């Protein structure tokens, strides 16, 4: 915990001092070193500053400064530690009992907090996964990591707490991820920043490094994808480059694990202060800007009201550029108005001299610094990968071939999902049928047998058979992402996206929605424009997620087997059409036109490793299986119970002649509910069972199929039939509950109606407004009803 969190009278042991530069040096000189005991004496009347006792004398620190000192409260120490302290007190008054508390501080101090910072698509998440053993998403496009991911592992007696931060090109306040990374570095003050660079594109990646250097933080650089640099024939003297910028560099290949041990050895050395290459350098910004920066630095240093989370140089540069976040930080200065006047005068003079805005001048000077450093340390090689990338791009981004190729790829994915997945699906289905029959043979008749056979096996088994289809879909999407094609898809779709009122970057979260809407909605954080971000969030539920896939496979396999791939394609395109219409309406009536420029990296193509693709696919499979044993199992039991009770001694023949009217003396609770809401759904062709299944799908869309599995079991004559065959059977009303027209109507309704609860929660959280969550529930359901009504009656006509 931090020293600022302690109450009056508490004692603690110093673990480490965070921060940087002169502040950290001064605090260490005052005695706040590892193992020292500090006591909180009193707080000032306004709670700031706070008076502490250390080494027998009193000292006051502001809370912002105390927050930079990590401590362990005395009460957290064991009785053995306290007893050891008491026994270790010697008769010599000038010696302090530091042995035991030193061990405590040493033990706590061997925890290294590491923040992974780098450009999008530089391999941060791959490194995070191989180091921490996590299974985070890895993709060859920007925006994979949209929130901080944390993992912990032990190495050589040290505990590493890794934080994988969103990819960012700089530390300005231009985009949400840039602001997020900067605030994380400010608030968490990691012990070491691990700056991950794409070794095959150093000139661009090093720009972020120069901003981290301005921050004056402990840092190590990981030169990832170093194998690609070697293969290109380039030669880099990374040791000399590291000495020039004052940051040690370690070449690694995160995919294979090459150089990982050396990397973490270097992090330990930097943390312990044993790395000779570490020194603070200034990225010189030229004779026009440097005098202005030095003047601002002197003013910032002289004002004690400004916090010390960032170095004065970093604050001065960003303040000169007009960074709003830094302006907020410096607003605490005692004479902020005067500081603003000085800044404005300096900026006006610089822009008059350079004849361009200050941000452009700073960027040009930094890239000049980078070019000069690389000229001395790197010999370029042939970039064969970029040549092959250019050749492939001439085809996949061609105005004639780009769109047909994209549609062909999507059609192939749907074809593989259905037809290739049909074989393992049939095997699992046979196993479920055998298990159901086995339970029916060995168990005596009664409620328990019905629960296991109809509720659990009928419900969960009805969904688990579609696991192969889910895995195939995720494998194909993973392959597209890892290869780099997904970024090209966004590129060719930008003009179309712009015409419907969206940003080109909106395309990737929408495609991700085919897997799951929740992470896709979170991925919209990479979109700079707030209006485009909210519209993308609002239309994302129309992208048919994998949770709906089991229903599509079930009904298309039953009623449209010969044209299943085309029906799949039609459903997914139908969701896209609904999204386009909604986006146009939102842009026309609620949001103004979006003028945000389309700036997006097109990474080189890479052949995805089978291991990475299979790992991601299996992770999704495990997630699906956990749902089987969680919400779907629970929902199946609830649906079975509502359909089973109340128990009535009713003759089967009498039951067969029932009508759709509610009969409280004979109907189950579920049937009563279904018939109650069915007048609203009957124009869509739904029976009460279909209405109940749709209602059950509100918490999670997978429950739709499990509900159908429960509702269409129990009849001894059809117990050995597959679920699809039961849906075709003639119902109690004398006609089948499902026909091709009803099946189409049902799938369209499930495609478009209100999102699952997890998606609604994500919408509310990302938009920071419950109004958009309510909008998705109401608007999507109304649109689904109208679309299903139209599809049903058109299908009846044909």
What are 136's two structure tokens?
A: 């985070």
Give per-residue pLDDT as tens, 300-333. 887 766 766 788 888 889 988 888 888 888 887 7
First to last CA, the chain: 70
Instruction: For residues 641 and 451, give the distance between their C-alpha atoms in angstroms, rounded to a whole number.
Output: 8
Identify whether the C-beta of residue 545 lies closer than 8 Å to the C-beta of residue 474.
Answer: no
Q: Burial level of 276, CB count in 10 A (0-12/13-18/19+)?
A: exposed
Q: Of 58-72, 121-135, 573-587, give the lowest mean pLDDT range.
A: 121-135
Q: What's residue 91's pLDDT?
A: 40
Instruction: For residues 73 and 70, give the distance between their C-alpha atoms in angstroms, rounded to a whole number.
Output: 10
| Burial letters 206-239, b for 16+ CB under 10 A, else e | bbbbbbbbbbbbbbbbbbbbbbbbbebebebebe
The closest alpha carbon to 787, from 735, 738, 750, 732, belongs to 750
Any residues with CB less than 8 A from the CB of 500 and at least 6 apart, and which? 580, 583, 584, 587
Provide the 10 A C-beta neighbour count for residue 187. 9
Identify whether the C-beta of residue 701 lies closer than 8 Å to the C-beta of residue 627.
Answer: no
* Beta pairing class for 111-118 and 158-164: parallel
With cut-offs at 50, 70 and 90, classify the pLDDT of residue 286.
Answer: confident
What are 271's two structure tokens?
A: 């943390």
Place of tokens 């067969």: 656
Q: What's residue 99's pLDDT?
A: 45
**Choice between 658 and 516, residue whose per-residue pLDDT is larger:** 516
Q: What's residue 206's pLDDT?
A: 92
Q: What's residue 753's pLDDT?
A: 95
Give per-residue pLDDT as tens, 595-646. 555 556 667 777 777 777 787 788 777 877 776 777 777 877 887 887 778 7
Peptide bond just before 608 cis, omega within 30 deg: no
Identify whether the C-beta of residue 163 lies closer than 8 Å to the C-beta of residue 115.
Answer: yes
Instruction: For residues 594 and 535, give the distance between their C-alpha atoms in angstroms, rounded to a whole number.
Output: 11
Instruction: For residues 65 and 4, give the distance between their C-alpha atoms in angstroms, rounded to a whole number.
Output: 8
Q: How far, in whole angstroms, is CA 197 from its chain's centroid? A: 21
With cut-offs at 50, 70 and 90, classify the pLDDT of residue 650.
Answer: very low
With cut-offs at 50, 70 and 90, classify the pLDDT of residue 32.
Answer: confident
- Scanning 44-175, the segments in alpha helix (DSSP H) are 63-66, 79-87, 99-109, 124-132
Instruction: For residues 362 and 465, give the distance between their C-alpha atoms in angstroms, rounded to a whole number.
Output: 59
Instruction: For residues 660 and 732, give the distance between their C-alpha atoms in angstroms, rounded to a whole number.
Output: 9
Instruction: For residues 140 and 600, give the distance between their C-alpha atoms in angstroms, rounded to a whole number.
Output: 13
Question: SS3 helix, strand, coil % of the chain, rounded to 5?
Answer: 60, 10, 30
Identify whether the C-beta of residue 723 lies closer than 8 Å to the C-beta of residue 778.
Answer: no
With cut-offs at 50, 70 and 90, classify the pLDDT of residue 783.
Answer: very high
Q: Of 187-201, 315-329, 380-394, give the lowest mean pLDDT range.
A: 380-394
* Beta pairing class for 69-73 and 219-224: unpaired
Q: What are phi and psi of 760, to 5 degrees?
A: -60, -40
Give per-residue pLDDT as tens, 540-576. 999 998 889 889 988 998 899 888 888 988 998 999 8
CA distances from 311 to 21, 284, 298, 323 (A): 7, 16, 12, 15
Q: What are phi and psi of 378, to 5 degrees?
A: -135, 135
The closest alpha carbon to 307, from 71, 113, 47, 63, belongs to 63
Residue 583 pLDDT > 70: yes
With cut-offs at 50, 70 and 90, classify the pLDDT of residue 134.
Answer: low
């Amino acid at each position: 915990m931090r020293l600022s969190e302690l109450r009056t009278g508490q004692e603690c042991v110093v673990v480490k001092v965070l921060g940087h530069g002169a502040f950290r040096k001064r605090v260490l000189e005052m005695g706040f070193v590892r193992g020292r005991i500090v006591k909180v004496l009193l707080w000032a009347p306004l709670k700031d500053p706070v008076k502490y006792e250390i080494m027998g004398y009193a000292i006051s620190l502001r809370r912002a400064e105390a927050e930079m000192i990590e401590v362990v409260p005395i009460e957290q120490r064991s009785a053995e530690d306290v007893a050891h302290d008491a026994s270790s007190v010697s008769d010599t008054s000038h010696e302090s009992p530091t042995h035991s508390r030193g061990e405590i501080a040493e033990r706590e101090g061997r925890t290294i907090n590491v923040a992974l910072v780098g450009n999008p698509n530089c391999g941060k998440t791959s490194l995070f996964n191989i180091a921490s053993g996590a299974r985070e998403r890895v993709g060859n496009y920007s925006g994979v990591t949209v929130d901080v991911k944390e993992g912990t592992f032990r190495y050589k007696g040290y505990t590493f707490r890794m934080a994988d931060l969103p990819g960012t090109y700089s530390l300005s306040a231009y985009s949400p991820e840039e602001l997020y990374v900067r605030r994380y570095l400010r608030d968490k003050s990691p012990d070491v920043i691990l700056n991950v660079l794409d070794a095959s594109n150093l000139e661009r990646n090093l720009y972020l490094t120069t901003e981290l250097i301005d921050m004056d933080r402990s840092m190590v650089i990981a030169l990832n994808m170093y194998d690609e640099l070697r293969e290109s024939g380039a030669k880099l003297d990374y040791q000399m480059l590291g000495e020039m910028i004052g940051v040690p560099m370690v070449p690694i290949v995160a995919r294979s694990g090459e150089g990982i041990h050396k990397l973490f050895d270097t992090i330990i050395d930097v943390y312990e202060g044993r790395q000779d290459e570490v020194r603070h350098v200034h990225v010189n910004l030229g004779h026009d800007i440097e005098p202005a920066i030095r003047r601002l630095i002197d003013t910032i240093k002289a004002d004690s009201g400004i916090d010390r989370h960032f170095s004065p140089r970093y604050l001065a540069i960003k303040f000169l550029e007009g960074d709003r976040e830094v302006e907020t930080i410096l607003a605490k200065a005692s004479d902020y108005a005067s500081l603003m006047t000085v800044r404005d005068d300096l900026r006006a003079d610089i822009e008059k001299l350079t004849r361009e805005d200050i941000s452009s001048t700073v960027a040009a000077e930094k890239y000049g610094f980078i070019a000069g450093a690389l000229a001395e340390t790197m010999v370029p090689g042939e970039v064969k990968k970029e040549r092959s990338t250019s050749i492939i791009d001439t085809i996949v981004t061609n105005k004639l071939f780009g769109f047909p190729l994209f549609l062909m790829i999507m059609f192939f994915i749907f074809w593989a999902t259905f037809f290739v997945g049909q074989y393992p699906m049939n095997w699992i289905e046979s196993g479920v049928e055998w298990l159901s029959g086995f339970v029916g043979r060995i168990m005596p008749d009664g409620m328990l047998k019905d629960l296991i056979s109809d509720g659990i096996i009928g419900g969960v088994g009805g969904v688990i058979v579609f696991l192969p289809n889910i895995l195939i879909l995720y494998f194909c999407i993973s392959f597209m992402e890892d290869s780099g094609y997904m970024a090209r898809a966004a590129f060719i779709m930008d003009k179309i996206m712009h015409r419907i009122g969206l940003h080109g970057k909106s395309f990737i979260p929408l495609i991700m929605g085919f897997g799951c809407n929740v992470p896709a909605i979170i991925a919209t954080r990479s979109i700079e424009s707030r209006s485009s971000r909210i519209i993308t969030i609002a239309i994302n539920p129309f992208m048919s997620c994998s949770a709906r896939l089991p229903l599509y496979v079930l009904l298309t396999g039953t009623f449209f087997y010969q044209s299943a791939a085309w029906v799949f394609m039609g459903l997914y395109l139908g969701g896209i059409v609904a999204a386009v219409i909604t986006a146009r309406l939102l842009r026309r009536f609620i949001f103004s036109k979006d003028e945000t420029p389309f700036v997006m990296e097109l990474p080189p193509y890479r052949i995805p490793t089978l291991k990475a693709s299979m790992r991601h696919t299996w992770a999704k499979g495990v997630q699906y299986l956990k749902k089987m044993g969680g919400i779907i199992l629970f929902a199946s039991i609830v649906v079975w119970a509502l359909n089973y009770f109340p128990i009535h001694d009713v003759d089967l023949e009498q039951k067969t002649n029932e009508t759709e009217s509610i009969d409280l003396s004979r109907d189950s609770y579920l049937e009563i509910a279904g018939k109650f809401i069915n007048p609203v759904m009957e124009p869509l062709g739904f029976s009460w069972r279909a209405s109940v299944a749709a209602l059950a799908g509100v918490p999670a869309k997978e429950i739709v199929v499990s509900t159908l599995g429960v509702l269409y079991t129990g009849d001894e004559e059809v117990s050995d039939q597959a679920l699809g065959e039961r849906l075709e059977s003639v119902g109690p009303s004398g006609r089948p509950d499902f026909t091709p027209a009803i099946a189409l109507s049902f799938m369209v309704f499930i495609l478009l109606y209100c999102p699952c609860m997890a998606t609604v929660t994500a919408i509310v959280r990302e938009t920071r407004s419950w109004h958009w969550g309510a909008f998705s529930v109401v608007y999507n359901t109304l649109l689904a009803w109208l679309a299903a009504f139209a599809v049903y009656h058109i299908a009846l006509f044909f």
